[in-house]
Amino acid sequence: MHAKPSYTEAQLIELLKLKNQRAYNYLYDNYSAAIYGVICKVVGDEDEAADVMQEAFIRIWRNIEQYNADKGRLFTWMLNVARNLAIDYIRSAQSRKSSKTESLTESTPLGAPGYTDAIKIDHVGLNAVLDKLTVEQKKIIDMAYFQGYTQEEIAEELDMPLGTVKTRARAALMKLKHLFV
């Protein structure tokens, strides 16, 4: 067996663009948990999430040429590719069956059951962050980030004016920024 390599983000991007499989393995080993976590959060079902993740990795692999380091970090880009794919997935699934409102309430329980096997440290971190966010702030972030809601949809869902959604979304994100950056 080879020793586990450790790449800088720039090296990793170079190798990925060369379609280097070891870099791809590295990518999977280091980022799949985060990507899977986000997809699960969007999709709700773990088996479906695994399928969506497969799609996401293929898309990342195919579109790596389109990634532009000037526009942000690789990880941010990958997470967005995966998240958008997952959101598209539930949206098309929803339009096939029930109304969106129903599945939203099902798939965004505040206590996030079904995530019990996430590694413990993340639980600690998540709980600490959730304690700092108001229920409404968390709801706005989750609706926007995990469900791909538009401003109008959030306004309707939470029964508040558009302007309020905008200012509350900002406040919620400022809180996150304060907690993380």
Binding site for another protein (CB under 8 A): 1-2, 11, 14-15, 18-22, 24-25, 28, 32-34, 36-38, 40-41, 46, 49-50, 53-54, 57-58, 61-62, 72-73, 75-76, 79, 83, 112, 115, 117-119, 122, 125-126, 129, 140-141, 144-145, 148-151, 154, 165-167, 169-170, 172-174, 176-177, 179-181
Q: Are 83 and 39 in contact (CB under 8 A)?
A: yes
* Half-sphere exposure for 180 (CA within 13 Å, toward CB): 11
Residue (99 or 180) nearer to another protein, CB: 180
**Tokens in use for 11?**
């090296």
DSSP letter at 103? H
Distance, in Å, from the CA atom of 12 to the CA atom of 30, rounded to the nearest integer, reads 12
Residue number, 97 or 178, with CB nearest to another protein: 178
Distance of CA 168 to the CA centre of its chain: 20
Nearer to another protein, 1 or 99 (CB): 1
Whichever of 94 and 114 has its CB closer to another protein, that residue is 114
Closest distance to another protein from the beta carbon of 166 (Å): 5
Helix (H, G, I), strand (E, B) or coil at 18: coil
